[in-house]
Amino acid sequence: MVKTAMNKMQQIKTKLFKLAELDKSLKLFGSQSHSYCLNPCISPGELNNFESRYGVTLPQDYRQFLLEVGNGGAGPGYGLFKLEDEIVTGGNDTEDREYQRLAQPFLLKSMWDGEEENDQNINAQQARQGTIAIATYGCGVDALLVVTGEQRGHIWIDDRSNDGGIYPFSSECCAFYHDDPYSLETVDDTAALSFYDWYQDWLNRYLVKFYAV
């Protein structure tokens, strides 16, 4: 039986509550920055305003998360970013310029090493178009959610600050980012996880540390 969006979001909330109970001392990576707390959910009107303003429809599982779970807070890395209030409710010229790229399609199909002279013909200005940064793992490593283009709904990693390039957050990346920081010897280049699967992987791996799944 296929889970409905509501059931999926309820499953996330149930696991997050369990994790917060188990890690009251905030021992796990990133927990001290969010304390397993979520920001209040965004309203449908604010979300519709954001999508209309920037000409996009956010991926369904992320959209439902914002509406039913929270507008940022507890999550992978140091926690989920929030759709900033000033962007949702009106914005300013600087933010508009930054977010106008959301409607432009994400162009990458496989790992991009940051070099402009390659077979994908992508330059630095184009590399993150069609994406929104939703979390950071620190040291300049961002988790990007693709909102436009063929990869829409999937998570990619921007690790250019450490010369790691931009690559899909595949199942092979899960242990490295959510469990064992020594497990990823080479960058995997297979299918990227959806927002829901990415968030669930973080929850499941953290719960396993307490033998609670």
Write down the pLDDT at residue 86: 46
**pLDDT tens-digit profile of 186-200?**
555 688 999 999 999
Write down the pLDDT at residue 1: 42
Write down the pLDDT at residue 114: 74
Q: What average pLDDT does this structure show over 75-80?
A: 96
Compute the C-alpha angle 135/139/142, nearest 5°. Answer: 30
**pLDDT tens-digit profile of 123-161?**
878 889 999 999 999 999 999 999 999 999 999 999 998
Q: Class of 5-208 per CATH?
A: alpha beta
Q: What is the three-class DSSP state of 71?
A: coil
How many angstroms separate the CA atoms of 59 and 62, rounded?
A: 6
pLDDT above 60: residue 39: yes
Q: How confident is the model at residue 84 (pLDDT cuts 50, 70, 90)?
A: confident
3-state secondary structure 101-132: HHHCCCCCCCCECCCCCCCCCCCCCCCCCCEE
Give the start-to-end residue ranges of the domains of the chain. 5-208
How many angstroms separate the CA atoms of 151 and 59, rounded?
A: 11
**pLDDT tens-digit profile of 4-28?**
656 999 999 999 999 999 999 999 9
Q: What average pLDDT does this structure show over 89-97?
A: 50
